[in-house]
Chain A
Amino acid sequence: MTTVQDGNSSQFEIDILLETAKNCRRKIVEMTHRASAGHPGGSLSAIDFLVALYKTRLNVNPSHPKDPERDRLIMSKGHASPAIYAILNEMGFISEQDLTTYRELGGVCQGHVDMKWTPGVDFSAGSLGMGLSFGLGVSLAARMDGSDRSAFVILGDGELQEGQIWEAAMAAVHHEVGNLNVIVDRNRIQNDDFMDVQMRLFDVAAKWKGFGWAVKECDGHNMEEIVASIQWLDTVKDRPAVIIAHTVKGKGVSFMEDNPAFHGAAPNDEQLAIALEELK
């Protein structure tokens, strides 16, 4: 399933990734509209790097979602579940019909990502701050197994306010896990408001560097930069690595972009029509 290799991504390959991301964006707004609930903003900010990860890097197989040697994608910001369901659908883990069950009783697609309900989901999230610790456990297990499988943890920037993140950041460097990778979705908005109002993070990259991580920043909506950054992750062998992906909350839908109101609110009928028109 690798379409982009060795830093030589052709425009054709980048175009495929962009088209996939656009398909996912439509699914995200449709899912949240159908459910009249959910978290479109943080799903739209994360979808570009998620598409790049799944399409260019992750060793996962929809025919064997529990293959012990698979890489693990740990969606710690589990409220952005529509993004995960959209890309899992694109990858063949779940069906179009499954997407219609988002937030419905008995549905494959739970409100927050859940490993017990959805094929291809490796971590039950929904409570922020826990995924990095889980990723560290997964990474330590891979090392003890002598396996080269990797863990990729997706963190929200608001989530970095949780103390447990920094417990895990410290421990990951102490244990020198080179197979643990993080992407921070730096969209600068949390539930109630802009982070600069709620709780400022100041220099996020400096914080990770201070803990001893290898750090790279990129434009989280520039597919060439994203792909190159993901390739950079594999060059860091002696310690954990983090990409700070600078993103726009609600990216791709004009009235959701950089708008705290769409952290946890679904589009209505009229807004859905506008969004789908913009995502043609």
Chain B
Amino acid sequence: MNLGASRDGYGSALLKLSDDPKVVVIEADLGKSTKSQMFRKEFPDRTISLGISEQNMMLVSAGLATSGYKPFASTFAIFTERGFEQVRNGIARPNIPVHICGSHGGVHTGTDGSSAQSIEDLAVYRSLPNMLVLHPSDDISTEYLTIQLANMQSPSYTRTVRNKTPRIYDMDSVTNLEIGKGVTLREGSDVAIIACGVMVSTALQVADNLSNEGINAAVIDMHTIKPLDGELIKSLAETCGCFVTAEDHSIIGGLGGAVSEYLASNCPAPLERIGVKDHFGESGQGDELLEKYGMGPNHIAQAARNAIARK
């Protein structure tokens, strides 16, 4: 199977951005893990190590950005949250274009256990004005979207993941991606499965299985959580009439939260949310944890049937 980990796409994007002399990479010790070290090896003079100090990293990045640089700062998703108030007051509030990447998002992170599995990052960053929030589904789309970020005038948070999952895009199809626009990977008329991150490939697999039951499910890669592609959701409400969201994140406040807010305000429709149901994770293999927490293929399929039944 053709596999990739989105964190590798972040590293390769930084290398591809290196022609821009204003791009600088900021690390808080975890460059080996977030893959920013791919940039460090080639461009040590434009890589700033700050040791294990996430709060410091956020404001050093802000200072660089106000001086004309394009800082890409990364650590584990969970540890970006160590600097949350720094992001809020020091980056988002003055709208300084700092690009934060949180790797190892979600319970899929696996055996490191609950301390390393951020299940709330999308929710907290989505709540901040001015922030772009991205969670791409594979390495190829992560690379493509990260490169787009370099010319954004807003700060951003991008969640990547540790483990390899089936690739969704190739070098041709990825060029259709645009920040803020969801991608319809599969057309459907009975139910729309809106997924992000590692759940996108699972959603495609589920849609295939559902077609054997005569259920025609649309699958959306909602790689941008904020701004949410409301137009796409509205059109899906018309064509499909019900929804499932699937994310490796708390069902509170992330993709499921964003979609439910949009639906409630604009075009009410049944919605089933697949995600972590308001509890912390534990050690285990990524797929084992998704299965245990009701986020596996069978759970998504059942959620689709339930949503259809509520129409």
Interface residues of A (CB under 8 A from B): 68, 114-116, 122, 124, 126-127, 129-131, 133-142, 144-145, 151, 163-164, 167-168, 170-171, 174-175
Contacts and interface: CB of A to CB of B under 8 A. Distances in A.
A144 B69 contact: yes
Contact of B60 (A116, A140, A144): A140
B64 A130 contact: no
Given A144-B69, A170-B51, A171-B50, A136 B89 contact: no
B55 A164 contact: yes
Contact of B67 (A131, A137, A174): A137
Interface string B64-103: 1111110100000000000001100110011100000000
27 contacts: A116-B95, A122-B66, A124-B89, A127-B86, A130-B86, A131-B59, A133-B58, A133-B86, A134-B59, A134-B62, A134-B90, A135-B63, A138-B63, A141-B63, A141-B67, A142-B67, A144-B24, A145-B67, A164-B53, A164-B55, A164-B56, A164-B59, A167-B53, A167-B56, A168-B56, A170-B51, A171-B51
B90 A115 contact: no
Contacts of A133: 55-60, 62-63, 86, 90
User: Lowest 5 CB-CB distances: which A-B pairs, in order?
Assistant: A137-B63, A133-B59, A141-B67, A167-B53, A167-B56
B128 interface: no
Contacts of A127: 85-86, 89-90
Contacts of A141: 63-64, 67-69
B38 interface: no
Contact of B59 (A114, A122, A137, A170): A137
Contacts of B50: 167, 171
Given A124-B94, A144-B69, A164-B86, A137 B53 contact: no
B75 to A, nearest CB: 13
A171 B51 CA distance: 8
Contact of A124 (B24, B57, B65, B93): B93
B176 to A, nearest CB: 35
Contacts of A164: 53, 55-56, 59, 86
Binding site secondary structure of chain A = helix
A273 B34 CA distance: 60
A130 B89 CA distance: 9
B48 interface: yes
Nearest to B58: A133
Contacts of A114: 94
A126 B89 contact: yes
A154 to B, nearest CB: 15
B250 interface: no
Nearest to B83: A164
Given A124-B89, A133-B60, A167 B55 contact: yes
Nearest to A116: B94
Interface in B87-140: 89-90, 93-95
Contacts of A115: 66, 94
A141 B103 CA distance: 26
Nearest to A174: B51
Interface in B152-192: none
A127 B91 CA distance: 12
B63 A124 contact: no
A51 B199 CA distance: 58
Nearest to B54: A167
A68 B68 contact: yes
A272 to B, nearest CB: 32
Contacts of A170: 51, 53
Nearest to B71: A137
A145 B53 CA distance: 25
A141 B48 CA distance: 11
B285 to A, nearest CB: 35
B152 to A, nearest CB: 18
B61 interface: yes
A191 B12 CA distance: 48
A174 B55 CA distance: 17
A238 to B, nearest CB: 19
Contact of B63 (A68, A129, A140, A174): A140
A116 B95 CA distance: 9
Contacts of A116: 94-95
B91 to A, nearest CB: 10
Nearest to A76: B59
A163 B56 CA distance: 10
A257 to B, nearest CB: 31
A232 to B, nearest CB: 24
Nearest to B53: A167
A129 B61 CA distance: 15
Contacts of B94: 114-116, 124
A7 to B, nearest CB: 30
